[in-house]
């Protein structure tokens, strides 16, 4: 059973351009002592995938939805609807239980054009940078422990990026969007956060 208040569901694009921001999200969230989760934990070929995704979001006390990828993709050049759909699930969960959801965007005011139903919910703009992600995390989340500074988050993110690159090489992978690299990255980020005195020792 997950402890809901520290479990954060990440609804993010899995593409190579997003890699630095993915690293920044894991580093930033681990620095606050939270527990990042994402859809990589749900087998893509399994039955009841949607139920399992819903269950995963439901078990988290909060979620982050980065809707900065609005491009067409794949051979058919179509937009992918998974991420806005998962945001809809989170919204619905938030209506009936304690669940905070935060929307991230790269470009200011664009969400009003792409998802006008969400007008009234200000997205957090990261401008496609790691620093932007750290600011968004510090805007959205607080901790009952020691609050990290943006300088600490930068340092954690830089070191995590280096370790994740080596973990990818060790496992002959070209990107970190795999369940085991995700788990390993969370472990490394938590260890770095502990070394910085942000997490208590068990």
Partner 1 sequence: MVRDASTLEEPCYHAVMKEAAAPLAKQPGTSTRKARTKKHIVTPGTVEQISRGVGVTKRDIALVTKVLSELGYVRDEKSGAPIRPRRGSENRKS
Footprint on this chain of partner 1 (rule: CB under 8 A): 2-3, 5-8, 30, 32-37, 41, 61-62, 100, 102, 122, 124, 139-145, 159, 162-163, 166-167, 170-171, 180, 182-184, 186-188, 190-194, 198-202
Write down the residue that tokens 């989170």 correspond to.
Answer: 90
CA–CA separation, 63 and 12 (whole Å): 10
74 Rama class: left (phi>0) / alpha (psi -120 to 50) / beta: left
- To the nearest whole angstrom, how small is the minimum distance from the Cβ of residue 117 to partner 1? 19
- To the nearest whole angstrom, how small is the minimum distance from the Cβ of residue 110 to partner 1? 18
- To the nearest whole angstrom, how small is the minimum distance from the Cβ of residue 119 to partner 1? 14
Helix (H, G, I), strand (E, B) or coil at 4: helix
Q: Which is nearer to partner 1, 80 or 155 (CB)?
A: 155
- To the nearest whole angstrom, how small is the minimum distance from the Cβ of residue 150 to partner 1? 16
- To the nearest whole angstrom, how small is the minimum distance from the Cβ of residue 38 to partner 1? 9
Q: Which is nearer to partner 1, 52 or 124 (CB)?
A: 124
DSSP-derived secondary structure letter, 68? -
CA–CA separation, 12 and 104 (whole Å): 9
Q: How many residues does the chain have?
A: 202
CA–CA separation, 7 and 22 (whole Å): 16
Pairing, β 62-66 against β 35-38 = unpaired
């Amino acid at each position: 059973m997950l402890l809901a208040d520290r479990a954060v569901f990440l609804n993010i694009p899995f593409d190579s351009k997003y890699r630095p921001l993915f690293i920044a999200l894991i580093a930033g969230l681990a620095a606050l002592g939270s527990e990042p989760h994402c859809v990589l934990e749900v087998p893509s070929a399994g039955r009841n995938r949607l139920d399992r995704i819903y269950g995963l979001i439901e078990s988290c006390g909060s979620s982050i939805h980065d809707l900065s990828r609005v491009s067409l993709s794949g051979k058919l050049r179509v937009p992918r609807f998974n991420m806005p759909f998962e945001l809809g699930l989170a919204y619905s969960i938030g209506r009936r239980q304690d669940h905070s959801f935060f929307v991230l965007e790269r470009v200011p005011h664009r969400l009003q054009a792409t998802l006008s139903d969400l007008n009234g919910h200000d997205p957090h703009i990261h401008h496609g940078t790691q620093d932007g992600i750290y600011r968004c995390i510090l805007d959205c989340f607080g901790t009952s422990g020691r609050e990290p500074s943006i300088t600490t988050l930068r340092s954690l993110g830089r070191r995590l990026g280096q370790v994740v690159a080596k973990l990818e090489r060790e496992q002959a992978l070209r990107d970190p969007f795999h369940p085991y690299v995700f788990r390993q990255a969370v472990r490394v980020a938590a260890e770095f956060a502990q070394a910085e005195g942000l997490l208590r020792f068990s």
